[in-house]
Amino acid sequence: MTGTGDEPFIAAVKPLVDAMGGEIIAPDEAGPEDVVLSWEGADVVAVRLPQLADSLDHILAAMERRKGKPLADLDRKAKQEVVRILEARGAFSVRHGVETVASALGVSRFTVYNYLNREKGA
């Protein structure tokens, strides 16, 4: 996939690709929706971006890992913080985003909307 001098570049972009739920692929395997990254005039790697819905699932899983327990087990204040972070990341612009987040938090859609309204009113 890469030349010998490309490893530092790939190592540098990999955490970002992983954080957004993308996949690193060879530049010659890139399709029209993939992003090809060049370094010093040569195509080094391509990034296959996730679908938005898959990205939300990836973000929720990463938040769970960071918290060290299922999001449903968090207290109310921590769940409100999760909703605030997800709103900032655009999670609720994804189709069924509220339902997906509500399910992960173990709360109703109504509760998620209350958390969102609380943030807007604060």
Instruction: Kindly state whether residues 66 and 27 are assigned to the same domain.
Output: no
What is the rounded distance in angstroms from the CA atom of residue 56 to the CA atom of residue 92? 9
* Pair 92, 98: CB distance under 8 Å: yes
Instruction: Kindly state whether residues 33 and 61 are assigned to the same domain.
Output: no
Instruction: Kindly state whether residues 42 and 58 are assigned to the same domain.
Output: no
**pTM, to two decimals:** 0.63
4 falls in which pLDDT band (50, 70, 90)?
Answer: low
Instruction: Kindly state whether residues 41 and 85 are assigned to the same domain.
Output: no
Instruction: Kindly state whether residues 114 and 60 are assigned to the same domain.
Output: yes
Which domain does 80 fall in, by range?
Answer: 53-120
* Pair 20, 58: CB distance under 8 Å: yes
49-81 per-position pLDDT tens digit: 877 667 788 889 889 999 999 999 999 999 999
7-60 per-position pLDDT tens digit: 888 899 999 888 777 899 999 999 999 999 998 899 999 999 877 667 788 889
Instruction: Kindly state whether residues 60 and 116 are assigned to the same domain.
Output: yes
- State CA 39 to chain mean position distance: 25
What DSSP state is assigned to residue 38?
E
Q: What is the dihedral of CA 90, 62, 77, 117, to 10 degrees?
A: 10
Total domains in the chain come to 2
